[in-house]
Amino acid sequence: MLTTSLVSGVTAVAQPTNPSDSEIAAAQDAVTTAQNVVGSLAASLSSSDSEIANLEMEMGGLREAVNKALVDLHDAQAKAEQARQGVSSARANLDATQSEIEAAQAKLDDISRSAYRQGATAPGVGGVSGNANSEDSLDRQTYLRTTAEKQRQAIDDLDRLRTEQANEESRLREARNYAEQQEQDATQAQQDAQQAIDDTNSQLEDKQRQHDELVASRDQAQSNLDAAKANATNLNNQRDEFQAYQEAQAAKEKAEQEAAAAEAARQAAEAEAQKKAQEQAAAQAAADAAAQAEENQRLAAQKDAEEKAAAAAEAKADAEAQANNASQAQAAKDAAATAAGVAAAALVAASQADHASTADPYAGSDTTGANSTTSTSNPIAAVQSDEVANSGNSAVADLDTVKLESTDSVTQKASALVSDASADQKIEAVIARAKSQLGVPYAWGGGNANGPTKGIRDGGVADSYGDYNKIGFDCSGLVLYAFAGVGISLPHYTGYQYQRGTKISPSEMKRGDLIFYGPNAENHVAIYLGDGTMIEAPNSGSTVKISPVRWSGMSPYAVRLIG
């Protein structure tokens, strides 16, 4: 039968079995074996994590390769539209020159007909002897000389216009040939982009299977590790149980001794309390008299305190009034800064094509047909590749109607809207903009200057996670969005983002810098937050989140866009 002791609240329990020495030795051997197994499992787990990280970088590179193909496609489409508008402009110039030629020819014909009529009415030689006839002859010669000069000028004008017409025809032919080549390049870029999506889809399916197998292997290793630890704990518990019982018994005996001592101390304390009560009664009378004097002092002190409190309240009210005015001014300044950031992002967004689409946005603006004479002024998206931005054709480059914007020219315009902000304020605005999207789903190809967008539909891995039907970001799309708020226009591809700003050593990174992964920044990008953390949109199935900086696989340089 179990008995319970109420002394010191200690509960008596049945004595456990004391294991023999051989049993303890066997248990210790089992613990050692389990620890060896745990070490092996831990190594296996670490290896699996490393393989998974490497595979995720490969998958990121495949996705960013498609982003590059899409950026190149949109640049090719913009160049083709530039060429089409160049042809239209050249044709309009040619038509204008033709009209001038026709007008000049008509003017020359009028002069010639007038000269012919004047010559037909001239008098014979015999009629030139009188004074009046001599004056008429002089006037007639002056007229003919003037007419001849007008004819020469008209002929010169006609020759000049015909030369210009020939030049315009040459420019039109060159512009048309260039437009046709750009059309072919855009068509090829569209095919390349679609092929990249198709090829990437099959590779991602294989990589995803490997990824799932590694994750399953890692999870199994973790499960085995947990089981081994639980077994080791159970073995140690058996060995410790009897020692715990002995310690409990010793504690019980000690508690009983302490209880007896406490009772003796209680009785002594009661006697001491009675003695003190008598002494306190004698002291109370003296205390009452002292209390009255103290009360008088307290009242005086209270009055003084109230007067000082009133003065302090008045000073506080004055300070609060001043603080409210300052607060209102700061609030107005903050609102203006927010509005400027929204305007800058809108300007960047207006300059960019729909990234996830392979369709030609200028398909309805063909101006190269033989019967087309209308010059178009459809807006053309800014080119995002430095190589494309710096290339051009002489046949269209000098035409005012076909100037192409670039990410640099858009940045120059948009950043002017937030020029009042300091570098530190811009960095904090970028990070706040990125953090506002924490928890937003990953969507391959998603994200523009205005926020999250639908991702790329690839028919495979991304679709299995619903990327094409999600409103979200991929890694380069999140960076594009964050920096648009401070007027910086970036391409939707990590490799092109790597070419912007100032390259720095990763060891010198500061808050707001870009961290890239892959030998040429082709795998992934994130924004450094400081304290060893970064914000990123990692991969399909995940969300925008803050992660520890991963140093493995990092590109040779980080990039600083601000400061």
Verify whether residue 51 is a known catalytic residue.
no
Q: What are phi and psi of 548, to 5 degrees?
A: -65, 145
Structure tokens belonging to residue 428: 């904090």
Helix (H) or strand (E) holding 225: helix 131-350
- For 105, 108, 114, 538, the CA distances from 111, given in Å and listed in that order, are 10, 5, 5, 79
In the sheet with 514-517, reading across from the earlier edge strand, the strands are 502-504, 558-560, 514-517, 524-530, 533-536, 545-548
Of 74, 211, 355, 524, catalytic: 524
Cβ within 8 Å of residue 243, ≥6 positions away: none
Q: Which of 4, 7, 12 is nearest to 248 (CA)?
A: 12
Helix (H) or strand (E) holding 525: strand 524-530
The owner of tokens 């991702």 is 455
For 86-123, what is the HEC assignment? HHHHHHHHHHHHHHHHHHHHHHHHHHHHHHHHHHHCCC
Cβ within 8 Å of residue 347, ≥6 positions away: 410, 413, 414, 417, 487
Of 355, 475, 492, 522, catalytic: 475
By residue count, the chain amounts to 563
Using CA of residue 505, residue 539, residue 438, residue 468, what is the dihedral sign? positive
Beta-bridged to residue 559, according to DSSP, are 503, 514
Concatenating the DSSP letter of every residue in 24-58 gives: HHHHHHHHHHHHHHHHHHHHHHHHHHHHHHHHHHH
Supply the Cα-derived Rg of the chain in whole angstroms: 45
Of 64, 81, 522, 536, catalytic: 536
The owner of tokens 């033709």 is 98
> For residues 527 and 244, what is the distance between their CA atoms, to the nearest angstrom?
54
> For residues 366 and 277, what is the distance between their CA atoms, to the nearest angstrom?
110
Give ∠ CA 102-105-106 in degrees, rounded to 5. Answer: 85
Widest Cα–Cα separation across the chain: 172
> For residues 359 and 83, what is the distance between their CA atoms, to the nearest angstrom?
18
Q: Which of 542, 538, 355, 523 is nearest to 465 (CA)?
A: 542
Verify whether residue 492 is a known catalytic residue.
no
Verify whether residue 536 is a known catalytic residue.
yes
- Give the residue numbers marked as catalytic: 475, 524, 536
